[in-house]
Amino acid sequence: MKKILATMTVITFLLAACGPVTAVPINTPTATIPLATEALPQPTTASPAGPVLLGTPESGGGMPAPALAARDDLAARLKIPAEQVQISSILPRDWPDACLGISAPSAMCAAVITAGYEVELVAGTAKYIYHTNMDGKAIRLFSGPGLVQGNEQSNILLEWTGADCSVFSLSNKVAFWGKCGETPQVVKGVDPSQEPVKHWLETFAPFEQDTPSGKVKFIGLGKRVGRPAAAIATAAEQRAMAEWAKLQFEVAQAGRAGAAWGMAFGYHREGGIAGFCDDVAVYLSGEARISNCKGLNTTLYLSASELDQLYAWIDELATVDYSHSDPATADAMKIVLTMPGQGKKTANEATIQAIVEFAGWLVARAGFAAQAKPDVANAEQALVDYFNALNIGDFIPAAKLYGGTTELLQTWNPDVKDNLPLWLERGCKQNGLVCMLPRSIQYRGADARGGYQFLVEFNNQDGSLFAQGPCCGDNSGAPPITSFMFTVIPNDGNWQVMDLPPYVP
């Protein structure tokens, strides 16, 4: 009875001092990650006093002592300044025991009603819930990090869980690492505005998937201009995210980075008449670092089809340790290739040469990008505009952007004379041209006609990767084609595309 009177006195004082008591704004309900393997107890219902306003007379003009104690404890656990932890709400609670409603199986808790608070904290965009007593001398972490959600989507952008219950999560402000059942720690230096995360967020739709490298939950934006729908990440692209997150976890756990960590293969080439001196390091995350003795030092990211090929080698082949040196002549070449494969098959000479050629292509691709002239961007934009116009059925602008041969279009439509917009319309709607939006565009180098070449991947209507299968009785067993060459050349001050979209009978 005395406790009830005391509670009513606090209520009366709050109402007199502050007017009507309103709830502190709380984010939408979130899923939380338990910090212990046993089921966590649910908090009791709020006492009649309702939420405590931040900065009420109870706290002497500042925050209540229990909230400050919870904030300081979380800051210490995460190893960040207390100022980076926000107190978002404080709710009066009557806990069912002296352990504040949070007890381990072996703990002895007096079965006595304990008055206190439920304190919600936010670090970056991750939510944590604390239980406290009235004076803050007893505090317990109930759950966290939860997914702090806005009006449209969760601020947790990517969450990875390894087979050994390793956890890495990335929000739009902060990243965490830890183990299931433990308090996660902040990861420094991981920024979602950097590649490859920025590309993933702009490109892919949300998904949740188990991959060979762990489970990934991804909350993508997929709102790149010109795309009616976000792309659906392929299995290889989903795995690349898992591999990236796994590497971030390993670096955070060790407190340092290793140059060979997460590496798929390393390649070195030197010699030859041209004076090659190239180094390539390709990582399981899809990142490729290319450098040479002539000053080239850049990072590329593999496309969906390139990732498919990379993982096929990694999963199938045993470790590759290859070295080749030509006889000592003026044009002698030395090549070294190392791949820590995860399979059992011994790589034959043809497979090794395919990997060597793949590495050489990455070197060439890096060189093309480094030497690209300013007008390459204008040519690429014309290519994008061409695909967009065909996709939305705006065939007059598409015709102005097309400069290639019309012989095939005329053959398909003998009843139409000298009408390129109509030919393109028939091509897209009746004749088998697949007029899709681009998924990725890679600069392929200069064209002999003064223009430029590009390799393009496309999205199907649902956002999945387009693959062109064998045509017209072809039984060769060749794999589907997912990357297509397009040439863009200048013509009277404008850029024109010389190729039609992919064809499916």
More reliable by pLDDT, 438 or 226 = 438
Residue 479 CB coordination number (10 Å): 13
How does pLDDT run across 57-98, given as a tens digit for each residue? 333 335 788 999 999 998 888 878 888 888 888 888 899 998
How does pLDDT run across 28-57, given as a tens digit for each residue? 233 322 333 233 333 333 333 334 434 333
Judge whether 242 and 211 are in contact, CB under 8 Å: yes
How does pLDDT run across 144-161, given as a tens digit for each residue? 666 555 433 346 789 999
| CATH class given for the domain over 376-497 | alpha beta
User: What is the structure's pLDDT at 36?
Assistant: 30
Distances in whole angstroms, Cα of residue 56 to Cα of each of 22, 25, 136: 12, 15, 16
Average pLDDT of the residues in 325-345: 89
Q: Which token pair is 42?
A: 């649910």
Single out the residue of 92, 154, 80 nearest to residue 118, CA to CA. 92
How does pLDDT run across 235-291, given as a tens digit for each residue? 999 999 999 999 999 999 988 887 788 999 999 999 888 788 999 999 999 999 999
Helix/strand/coil percentages in the chain, nearest 5: 30, 30, 40
User: What is the structure's pLDDT at 40?
Assistant: 33
Single out the residue of 315, 194, 205 nearest to residue 264, CA to CA. 315
pLDDT higher than threshold 60 for residue 22: no
How does pLDDT run across 98-124, given as a tens digit for each residue? 899 887 666 688 889 999 999 988 876
User: What is the structure's pLDDT at 21?
Assistant: 30
Find the farthest-apart pair of alpha carbons in the chain and give their distance in angstroms, rounded. 100
If pLDDT is split at 50, 70 and 90, which confidence band does 475 have? Answer: low
pLDDT higher than threshold 50 for residue 480: yes
Q: Where are the domains of the chain?
A: 2-147, 156-254, 263-370, 376-497
pLDDT higher than threshold 70 for residue 397: yes
Half-sphere exposure of 342 (CA within 13 A, CB side): 11
User: What is the structure's pLDDT at 101?
Assistant: 87
User: What is the structure's pLDDT at 45?
Assistant: 35
User: What is the structure's pLDDT at 6?
Assistant: 38
Residue 88 CB coordination number (10 Å): 18
Helix-then-strand count for the chain, H and E: 10, 20
> What is the distance between the alpha carbons of residues 311 and 85, in angstroms, rounded to a whole number?
41
User: What is the structure's pLDDT at 229?
Assistant: 62
> What is the distance between the alpha carbons of residues 456 and 325, in angstroms, rounded to a whole number?
35
How does pLDDT run across 161-209, given as a tens digit for each residue? 999 999 998 877 778 888 876 767 778 788 888 899 988 988 888 899 9
Q: Which of 223-232, 311-320, 380-389 has the lowest mean pLDDT?
A: 223-232
Judge whether 239 and 212 are in contact, CB under 8 Å: yes
* DSSP string computed for 188-234: TT--TTSTTHHHHHHHBPPEEEEETTEEEEE------TT-SSPBPPP
Q: Which of 9-13, 132-136, 210-214, 485-489 has the lowest mean pLDDT?
A: 9-13
The DSSP secondary-structure symbol of 418 reads S
User: What b/e sequence results for 90-119 when a residue is b if at least 16 CB atoms lie within 10 Å of its CB, and e otherwise?
Assistant: bbbbbbbbbbbbbbeeeeebeeeebbbbbb
Q: Which helix (H) or strand (E) holds 198?
A: helix 197-203
User: What is the structure's pLDDT at 391?
Assistant: 94
Q: Which token pair is 285?
A: 């995350």
Say whether 190 sits in a helix, a strand or coil: coil
> What is the distance between the alpha carbons of residues 16 and 398, in angstroms, rounded to a whole number?
71
User: What is the structure's pLDDT at 5?
Assistant: 38
Mean pLDDT score across all residues of the chain? 82
Report CA dihedral (434, 437, 440, 446) to the nearest 10 degrees: 70
> What is the distance between the alpha carbons of residues 103 and 114, in angstroms, rounded to a whole number?
14
Rg over CA atoms, the chain: 30
Judge whether 136 and 68 are in contact, CB under 8 Å: yes
Q: What are phi and psi of 110, to 5 degrees?
A: -65, 130
Task: Return the bridge partners of 120, or none.
Answer: 89, 129
Half-sphere exposure of 204 (CA within 13 A, CB side): 26
How does pLDDT run across 123-135, given as a tens digit for each residue? 765 788 999 999 9
Q: What are phi and psi of 19, to 5 degrees?
A: 75, -160
Amino acid identity for residue 445 in this structure: G
Judge whether 334 and 326 are in contact, CB under 8 Å: yes
Q: What are phi and psi of 333, to 5 degrees?
A: -120, 140
Q: What are phi and psi of 378, to 5 degrees?
A: -70, -40
> What is the distance between the alpha carbons of residues 362 and 264, in angstroms, rounded to a whole number?
14
Task: Tokens 């794999």: give the residue.
Answer: 479
% of the chain at pLDDT higher than 70:
81
Judge whether 442 and 306 are in contact, CB under 8 Å: no
> What is the distance between the alpha carbons of residues 89 and 1, in angstroms, rounded to a whole number?
28
User: What is the structure's pLDDT at 282?
Assistant: 97
Residue 83 CB coordination number (10 Å): 8
> What is the distance between the alpha carbons of residues 212 and 246, in angstroms, rounded to a whole number?
11
Q: Which token pair is 258?
A: 């290793």
Q: Which of 52-56, 138-142, 167-171, 353-357 has the lowest mean pLDDT?
A: 52-56
Task: Tokens 């014309």: give the residue.
Answer: 382
Task: Tokens 């944590």: give the residue.
Answer: 128
Distances in whole angstroms, Cα of residue 15 to Cα of each of 4, 44, 134, 376, 414: 17, 24, 19, 68, 85
User: What is the structure's pLDDT at 178?
Assistant: 87
